A and B are shown apart, each in its own frame.
Chain A
Amino acid sequence: MAVLTQKKPMTIAEKFNDESWRRKFLNNVLIPWIFIAPLLIIHLYVVAVPAVQGIYMSLTDWKGVGMNVNFVGLENYRELFFEDETFGKALSNNILWMAFFLTVPFILALFCATMLSQVRRGGMIYRSILFVPYVLASVVTATIWKNLLNPQRGVGAAVDNILGLEGVFGVAYLGRTETALMSIAFIDNWQFWGFLMILFLAAMQSIPPVLYDAAKIDGANRWQEFRHVTLPGIRPILVFMFMMVAIFSFLAFDYIFLLTQGGPGGASEVIATQLYKNAFFRFQAGYGAAQGVVISIFAGFIILIFVTVKRRGWDI
């Protein structure tokens, strides 16, 4: 029966002559794709095409100006990893940056969100104020903290003044090789951690209170409560943000460029600031493009780790 009632498949010419088919095609295929087209075309033009070009460019010795382009294979990568010592320094700075951002803001945000989730009165006010730094522009934050870390007029000098010391805390934090990178990380974190806190707080507030009551009845202390109720309750966002922050650590640019431009003497240089200088100041576009590919490979590698772990369903 089914075979008998089944219609013969239409040829394309027949389809175009069929009014209802034409309307269906228009409504369900053509018009939706016309709606999608503008954003897709812009995105292809700005992101996808240059990303592919970037890979090719990284295999050339192009300077960024002129027509002289030679294909050099993996030469740029070889130079990066085996000859360029400043790149090694930048990479290790990126890893230090990651170590800082995977610990300090997370501990601060977890601690603060735990405190805040227990507070009834004033919770909204705290939440809003702690979030304020996150909405500031990096140029503004950088300027504010550059002044606050000034050796003569900044916070350090004021502390020295109170303690009757001179030049102990009032030092050029951004101008010394030992402190420059971590000072910038501190400033970036000042702006960032409130955002992390808000995410954790929202996750904590969605944990059913019954679980805390149960933990109390079982005689759990506050640490055990945090360890066995809070942490598992916010695990998805915690793990996700670990991944995002690990990726961001390889993309770090704004604050370093604004505050020290990688100095003094390369002490706070990261891959992105090096890339920017190579591509836009030093006429080494091919070399800069190779650094961009390296950053992307690191980012992709981090995503791969997290995806694998998630696939395996590991308890993290």
Chain B
Amino acid sequence: MTAIGNVSIRDTILQRGRSRERSRLLVFNHVVLLALTAFAVIPLVVVAFNSVKTNLEIGQNPLGPPVNVVVENFPNAWDKGNFATTMSNSIIYVVATIAAELVFGGLAAYALARKKPPGSDLLMLYFLVASTIPLWMYIVPLFVQINFLKVKIGVDARILLIMVYVATRAPLSIFLLRSYMIDLPTELEDAARVDGANELQVMTRIVFPLTKPGFLTVGLVVGLGVWNEFLLALTFIHDPNQYPVTTSFYKFVDRFDRDWALTSAGAIIIIFPVMVLFLSLQRQFIEGLAEGGVKL
């Protein structure tokens, strides 16, 4: 009896101590988290401020909120940065890469997850090893190959860039989609077969619809990666009319180095679509990128 009494008293003491401790600690937690949040956000706020100032005002007040809000920077940057062209180029790169990745990746993942043809273990090993090969190992010969296709055969550089994007992201999409499909229960597929569905129907009507979250994850990771990609586009695209926004912005900043109002507005134009998508699909973005980053 005394023992039990002791325990309960000890528990209540612990409980009280803990709750007091917890509330005190949480203030500390929030202070730390707010400081880190400010560290993450303030640079973006400064760019947003500068994008609606005149250069004259930026000269006097480079970091603070704008006194007079001007919006001319945006149409100016849009024209001078050739954003109409480069934005649509980037959209083409993103959409085409996602489409190819999902179609080819989905087919390959289905074959590897459900059919396991002879040699699939070897193939998985190949993709596992190949995914660890750094780009730096093959970028020089790849440049030669791509240049050959471009100059000698006359293939559009944009198609070649998309091909490089699809290839470099192939292991990721195969691993992700395959593991997603393997986790799906097979009962539904068996039931569909019993009902007389053929193999093609099982794949397109049962497996692919159930893999939708996996496709969404791959699409987001690949899409964001391509939208933000810089190095490959810089290496393989040399016609300014085919630049994606990233390399185009790089040259733009180079050219208008002193014109902060203009370059800030340009930065906001590039960030904007990503932010809208991120804010509307936060959970998928965060979980998808966490998963994608670990798988790669």
Which residues on A are within 8 Å of B, measured CB to CB? 27-29, 31-33, 35-36, 38-40, 42-43, 45-51, 53-54, 57, 64, 108, 111-112, 115-116, 118-119, 122, 126-140, 143-145, 147-148, 150, 153-155, 157-158, 190, 194-195, 198-199, 202, 216-217, 222, 237, 240, 244, 247, 250-251, 253-254, 257-258, 271-272, 275, 279-280, 285, 288-289, 291-293, 295-296, 299-300, 303
Kindly supply a per-residue 1/0 record for chain B positions 150-186, scoring 1 wherever the CB is within 8 Å of any chain A CB and 0 otherwise: 0000000000000110111011001000000000000
In the complex, how many angstroms separate the beta carbon of B82 from the nearest chain A beta carbon? Answer: 15
- Which chain B residues (232-258) contact chain A, with CB distance < 8 Å? 235, 245-247, 249-250, 253
Q: Which of B44, B115, B135 contacts A251 (CB 8 A)?
A: B135
Contact yes or no, A279 B134, CB < 8 A:
no
B224 within 8 A of A: yes
Given contacts A46-B167, A199-B294, is CB(A251)–CB(B134) below 8 Å? yes
The A interface is mostly helix, strand or loop, or mixed, namely helix
Contact yes or no, A292 B130, CB < 8 A:
no
- Which chain B residues (4-33) contact chain A, with CB distance < 8 Å? 14, 18, 22, 25-26, 29-30, 32-33
In the complex, how many angstroms separate the beta carbon of B222 from the nearest chain A beta carbon? Answer: 13
Contact yes or no, A54 B140, CB < 8 A:
yes
Interface hub of A108, A127, A150, A296 (most chain B Cβ within 10 A): A296
CA distance A221 to B35 in the complex (A): 25
B112 within 8 A of A: yes
CA distance A37 to B104 in the complex (A): 9
In the complex, how many angstroms separate the beta carbon of A299 from the nearest chain B beta carbon? Answer: 5
Q: Which of B117, B130, B134, B293 contacts A48 (CB 8 A)?
A: B130
- 13 new A-B contacts, CB < 8 A, other than A43-B127, A54-B140, A292-B136, are A31-B111, A35-B108, A39-B104, A46-B167, A50-B139, A50-B145, A51-B137, A133-B40, A140-B267, A144-B267, A150-B62, A271-B136, A292-B139
Contact yes or no, A43 B231, CB < 8 A:
no
CA distance A132 to B174 in the complex (A): 27
Contact yes or no, B107 A36, CB < 8 A:
yes
Q: Which of A139, A154, A198, A244 contacts B249 (CB 8 A)?
A: A139
B132 within 8 A of A: yes
CA distance A51 to B275 in the complex (A): 36
Going nearest first, the 8 A-B pairs with the smallest beta carbon separation are: A46-B167, A32-B111, A50-B138, A53-B141, A153-B62, A137-B228, A35-B107, A50-B141
Contact yes or no, B199 A27, CB < 8 A:
yes
Contact yes or no, B18 A115, CB < 8 A:
no
Chain A residues lying within 8 Å of B41, measured Cβ to Cβ, are 129, 132
Chain A residue at minimum C-beta to C-beta distance from B174: A39
Chain A residue at minimum C-beta to C-beta distance from B149: A45
Contact yes or no, A132 B134, CB < 8 A:
no
Given contacts A295-B137, A303-B132, is CB(A139)–CB(B250) below 8 Å? yes
CA distance A33 to B127 in the complex (A): 15
Contact yes or no, A144 B14, CB < 8 A:
no
- A-B CB contact pairs (8 Å), 10 listed: A29-B118, A32-B112, A115-B33, A134-B289, A137-B249, A143-B267, A258-B250, A279-B143, A292-B138, A293-B137
In the complex, how many angstroms separate the beta carbon of A311 from the nearest chain B beta carbon? Answer: 16
B94 within 8 A of A: no
Kindly supply a per-residue 1/0 record for chain B positions 252-270, scoring 1 wherever the CB is within 8 Å of any chain A CB and 0 otherwise: 0100000010011001001
In the complex, how many angstroms separate the beta carbon of A3 from the nearest chain B beta carbon? Answer: 27
Contact yes or no, A254 B260, CB < 8 A:
no
B218 within 8 A of A: no
Chain B residues lying within 8 Å of A112, measured Cβ to Cβ, are 32-33, 36
Chain B residue at minimum C-beta to C-beta distance from A133: B40
Given contacts A57-B141, A143-B263, A279-B143, is CB(A130)–CB(B37) below 8 Å? yes
Chain B residue at minimum C-beta to C-beta distance from A57: B141
Contact yes or no, A154 B62, CB < 8 A:
yes
Chain B residue at minimum C-beta to C-beta distance from A125: B37
In the complex, how many angstroms separate the beta carbon of A298 from the nearest chain B beta carbon? Answer: 9
Chain A residues lying within 8 Å of B137, measured Cβ to Cβ, are 51, 54, 292-293, 295-296
Contact yes or no, A129 B167, CB < 8 A:
no
Contact yes or no, B253 A143, CB < 8 A:
yes
- Which chain B residues (103-141) contact chain A, with CB distance < 8 Å? 104-105, 107-108, 110-112, 115-120, 123, 126-127, 130, 132-141
B99 within 8 A of A: no
Chain A residue at minimum C-beta to C-beta distance from B264: A147
Chain B residues lying within 8 Å of A32, measured Cβ to Cβ, are 111-112, 115-117, 120
Chain B residues lying within 8 Å of A28, measured Cβ to Cβ, are 115, 117
Chain B residues lying within 8 Å of A199, measured Cβ to Cβ, are 290, 293-294
CA distance A130 to B278 in the complex (A): 13
Contact yes or no, B230 A254, CB < 8 A:
yes
Chain A residues lying within 8 Å of B228, measured Cβ to Cβ, are 135-138
